[in-house]
Amino acid sequence: MAVNPSRVFAAVIPVGDVYRDENEGMIRTVRRNTEQTPTREVQVTGNAELSSGPNRARLCLQVSSRKDSVTEAKNSVSRRLDYILQSLRQQGVKEENVTVTKDIRRAENAYYMEAEVCVTFSDFVKMQNISNFLVEKLDSSVTVSAPQFYHTTENLESIR
């Protein structure tokens, strides 16, 4: 993570009547309060900027099937779901980084089953390789969404 240095300017304004600010090339007049003891004033200005790329990405895949029988719909989705999960395991994706949700419903005298697999990656190259592999190997009933990149809470805290 590249960090740009911050700059801070400070000036102690003298008690005299005229003060020349060398950084800004201007002259300021400081009026004395003759009834009280002279006071000094400190002015500080600063500016900083920091940026960091995301450290996590979430890739989601949707598998769906519409069949006349609930068993056929389940089997159709299950075969492709098993293939996806096996491919993830073979690529070294930990089970704790994978979430699977399944939904089945009846629509117009047919059964519709949908499953979604969401995988969290910290290795973006691995994510891209797996995404490309699954797009190549699976048919159009599997949708691979664009990855969502984000920062973990720990990452945000470390850059603050």
For the cut 70, the answer to whether the pLDDT of residue 16 exceeds it is no
The pLDDT tens digits for 42-70 are: 777 777 777 788 999 999 999 999 999 99
Classify residue 3 by its DSSP letter: -
State whether residue 103 is helix, strand or coil: strand
Mean pLDDT lowest among 6-20, 77-91, 96-110: 6-20
- Which are the contacts of 95, defined by CB distance < 8 A and separation ≥ 6? 89
Supply the pLDDT for residue 92: 93
Supply the pLDDT for residue 10: 63
